[in-house]
Amino acid sequence: MTCEQKLVMAQFLDTAEASLKGGYGFYNRHYDFKDDEAIIPPVPPPAAAPTQAADNTALAAVPTPAFAPSQAAAPSQAADNTAPAKFDTIDEVAAEARACSNCALCKTRKQVVPGEGVPNPLVLVVGEAPGADEDSSGRPFVGKAGQLLDKMLSSIALSREKNCFIANIVKCRPPQNRDPLPGEVDACIHFLHKQISLLKPLVILSAGRVSTANLTGSNDGITRLRGIWKNYRNIPLLPTFHPSYLLRDETQKAFAWEDMKSLCRKLAELDKNYEAMSAKLRFERKI
Ligand code: URA
């Protein structure tokens, strides 16, 4: 049997177990199946990471917070797959991801979407997986949800060009935009772990349930988790709604706006330059 066939069987059994227990569960179990014939070769040990230096020059580009609502309105860190660290730079992680064929998504993807942004960002945004637009372009969050994400970030003086990095739990598009399967997360999450250790973001913004479950280990719903600060390996992590969800239910934007303000306060605590920028935003009554 191939590892994919074994994985499908295991996930079928997980689903059956969830069903027998009376509900639809989100499983984050880790399997390490191997093809009966082809064994995946071992990988070398990890390398060290660079330092923090925030580029906080975004304020000039901050538009009116168009995103802000109108007045009306287990973890994969458990199975820490940081092992395949053949790379010392973000570009090397990206190159490795582009060459990856560790799960079945490599057969259906058009392009791998490793992530993009600045080194040593103030914020690392982690989404779930690429969608159709991202699959076509090779860039994260460039579709409608991505445009909303950019607005959310710019409302508090953040952007992928100046002071953020944007990545996903899984680097290839799952067919029909379904949730990534646990085995796909297992095969891929070491890229994100390595990105985090190289990027050393000041803060992580976790967009949606899938990202939050995989980074915090909590399988609670995102409605319960959003807005409550957690930690990922000593990095403050804020769960928030996924922008795709906000596009489907605009009434939730008010909560997401609260999260953006909380993120802004946290960054102001942690970074002097950002503190000055956010003070200016407050003075201009943009936040
Ligand atoms: N949704 C995500 O979670 N990530 C993307 O890159 C695009 C849409």
**pLDDT tens readout for residues 249-269:** 999 999 999 999 999 999 999
How far apart are alpha carbons 264 and 102 in whole angstroms? 37
Does 172 map to a domain? Answer: yes
Alpha-carbon dihedral angle through residues 66, 280, 157, 253, given to the nearest 10 degrees: -40
- Determine the pLDDT at residue 285: 81
Extract the tokens encoding 170. 């899984």
CA of 276 to the centre of ligand 1 (A): 31
Does 75 map to a domain? Answer: no
- Determine the pLDDT at residue 164: 98
Minimum-distance ligand 1 atom for the alpha carbon of 208: 3
Residues 6+ apart with CB under 8 A from 100: 106, 112, 171, 172, 187, 188, 191
Extract the tokens encoding 239. 């769960």
* Sheet (strand 230-232) strand order: 116-117, 164-168, 123-127, 203-207, 235-240, 230-232
Does 44 map to a domain? Answer: no
Domain co-membership, 107 together with 213: yes
Domain co-membership, 29 together with 94: no
Of residues 107, 139, 121, 126, the one with CA closest to residue 191: 126
Q: Residue 27 pLDDT > 90, yes or no?
A: no
**Domain residues for 173?**
90-284
* Confidence (pTM): 0.74
Domain co-membership, 109 together with 197: yes
- 175 or 14, greater pLDDT: 175
- Determine the pLDDT at residue 284: 87
Domain co-membership, 131 together with 232: yes
CA of 3 to the centre of ligand 1 (A): 26
Domain co-membership, 3 together with 98: no
Does 46 map to a domain? Answer: no
Domain co-membership, 31 together with 118: no
Alpha-carbon dihedral angle through residues 218, 224, 227, 232, given to the nearest 10 degrees: 0
Q: Left if phi > 0, otherwise alpha if psi is -120 to 50, otherwise beta: which for 138? A: left
Does 244 map to a domain? Answer: yes
Q: With beta carbons less than 8 A apart as the criterion, state whether 268 and 274 touch.
A: yes
Q: With beta carbons less than 8 A apart as the criterion, state whether 219 and 213 touch.
A: yes
Which residue's C-alpha comes closest to atom 7 of ligand 1?
141
- Determine the pLDDT at residue 86: 62
CA of 23 to the centre of ligand 1 (A): 26
The residue-averaged pLDDT of 231-257 equals: 98
pLDDT digits (tens, 9 = 90+) for 51-101: 343 343 333 333 344 565 544 335 554 444 545 556 699 999 999 999 999
The residue-averaged pLDDT of 113-132 equals: 98
Does 177 map to a domain? Answer: yes
Residues 6+ apart with CB under 8 A from 212: 206, 218, 222, 225, 239
Does 69 map to a domain? Answer: no
CA of 207 to the centre of ligand 1 (A): 9
Does 50 map to a domain? Answer: no
Among 53-67, 79-93, 135-149, 272-286, top mean pLDDT goes to 135-149
CA distance to 156, 239, 256, per residue, from 218 (Å) = 27, 11, 19
How far apart are alpha carbons 47 and 86 in whole angstroms? 8
Minimum-distance ligand 1 atom for the alpha carbon of 210: 3
The residue type of 186 is: D
213: CATH: 3.40.470.10
The counts of H helices and E strands in the chain are: 11, 6
> CB within 6 Å of ligand 1 — which residues?
127-131, 134, 140-141, 145-146, 168, 244
- 9 or 164, greater pLDDT: 164
Q: Which of 43-57, 101-115, 129-143, 182-196 has the lowest mean pLDDT?
A: 43-57
User: How many structural domains comprise the chain?
Assistant: 2
Domain co-membership, 116 together with 242: yes
Domain co-membership, 186 together with 249: yes
Mean pLDDT of the chain: 82
pLDDT-based confidence at residue 130 (cuts at 50, 70, 90) = very high
Q: How many CA atoms lie within 13 Å of 118's alpha carbon, on the beta-carbon side?
A: 21
